[in-house]
């Protein structure tokens, strides 16, 4: 109960801020009878901002497109109040389509900062990147940020070249499905649960009833299938692992390693920065000079390649004449499991994950 109080206070503060803006407008005599909160100004299309340019490269120079993959990888909408309804899969596919349709874009840098996500979403993005590569012929270079683990690494396998910072966390090759069981605790306070099901395996791993080992054997069977798919993909896409210092069994046992270790193990091609990825992309398409452009939602200010470009827009309070007051985007992660593992919470969706759950202090 106490955990919700700071969030509730923040929501009230945000509402008061909006009301204060309205009050300020009314004092100036410009507030209409009706105010519309427009969460998506513009037509919703992607904008692009030039974030790096080589000396001597003009505005007509070829482009390298940077696409960011951030946070939990899922088909579910991003959590939070007034945060927009985009999801990781839609975000990547939309940007790949923009890069594919632009003849000035010669290559793509996929900047990954993610501990992974659901099995299906990770697989979908991997397939979309491979399809983009086959249709367009434009190479894809992965640049790993703080973390590109589990599903983040699964997606990195779609690239032509993988660059990690020496301190990046990657690996965590494997599958997890988290279950809970509250039946013993419920018994202690005189509460019992019983689901009415069509067959014995319908309410699989029901957290309110005594655990059934057959249910966990079924879940283990599915987990083993998803793991084998991941492991096979690693072996197919990273044949250099066979010449590394560790076996495929060791590399795919779920452990994590740094970007520097990843080079030694063969799971990463080289260590370097985002600027190094830019240089590698130019080399792959034989460019001496180019521009690095970053895709983002309209209305989002982008000052460098490292800017966070979430798929939601500034909030604008518009009056009848089209004018308005622009407020910063509001994002509130509500209680109930809407956070990010290793980043202050747990996943909001149940299911099977290619996911690294970072230890918390």
Both tokens of residue 270?
A: 């080289």
Pick the catalytic residue from 202, 247, 273, 304.
202
3 tagged catalytic: no
| Known catalytic membership, residue 150 | yes
**β strands within 119-199, DSSP E:** 140-149, 161-164, 169-171
| β-strands 169-171, 256-258 pairing | antiparallel
- List the helix and strand counts (H, then E) for the chain: 9, 14
Q: Which two tokens stand for residue 98?
A: 């923009």
Cα–Cα distance between 98 and 103 in angstroms, integer? 10
Cα–Cα separations (whole angstroms), residue 44 to 41, 86, 265: 7, 11, 43
What one-character-per-residue DSSP string does 18-75 give? HHHHHHHHHHTT---S--EEESS-SSS-EEEEEEEE-TT--TTS-EEEEEEEES-B-S
Which is the catalytic residue, given 150, 168, 172, 282?
Answer: 150
Q: Which residues are catalytic?
A: 150, 202
């Amino acid at each position: 109960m106490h955990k919700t109080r700071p969030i509730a206070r923040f929501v009230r503060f945000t509402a008061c801020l909006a009301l204060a803006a309205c009050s300020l407008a009314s004092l100036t005599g410009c507030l209409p009878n009706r105010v519309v909160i427009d969460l998506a100004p513009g037509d919703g299309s992607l904008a692009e901002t030039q974030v790096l340019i080589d000396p001597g490269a003009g505005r007509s120079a070829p482009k390298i497109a940077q696409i960011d993959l951030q946070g939990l990888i899922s088909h579910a909408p991003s959590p939070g109040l007034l945060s927009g309804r985009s999801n990781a899969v839609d975000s990547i596919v939309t940007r790949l389509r923009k890069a594919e349709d632009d003849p000035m874009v010669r290559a793509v840098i996929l900047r990954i900062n993610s501990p992974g996500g659901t099995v299906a979403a990770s697989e979908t993005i991997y397939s979309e990147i491979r399809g983009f590569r086959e249709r367009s012929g434009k190479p894809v270079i992965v640049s790993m940020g703080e973390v590109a683990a589990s599903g983040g690494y699964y997606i990195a396998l779609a690239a032509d070249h993988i660059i990690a910072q020496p301190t990046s966390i990657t690996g965590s090759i494997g599958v997890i499905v988290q279950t809970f069981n509250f039946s013993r605790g419920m018994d202690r306070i005189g509460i019992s649960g019983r689901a009415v099901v069509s067959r014995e395996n319908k309410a699989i791993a029901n957290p309110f009833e005594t655990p059934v080992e057959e249910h966990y054997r079924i879940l283990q069977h599915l987990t083993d299938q998803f793991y084998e798919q991941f492991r096979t993909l690693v072996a197919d896409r990273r044949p250099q692992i066979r010449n590394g210092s560790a076996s495929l069994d060791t590399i795919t046992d779920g452990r994590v390693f740094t970007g520097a270790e990843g080079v030694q193990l063969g799971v990463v091609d080289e260590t370097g920065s985002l600027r190094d990825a830019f240089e590698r992309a130019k080399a792959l398409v034989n460019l001496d000079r180019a521009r690095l452009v970053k895709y983002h939602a309209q209305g989002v200010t982008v000052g460098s390649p490292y800017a966070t470009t979430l798929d939601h827009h500034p909030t604008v309070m518009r009056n009848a004449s089209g004018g308005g007051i622009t407020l910063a985007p509001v994002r509130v992660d509500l209680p109930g499991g809407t956070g990010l593992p290793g980043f202050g919470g747990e996943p909001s969706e149940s299911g099977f994950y290619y996911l690294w759950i970072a230890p918390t202090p």
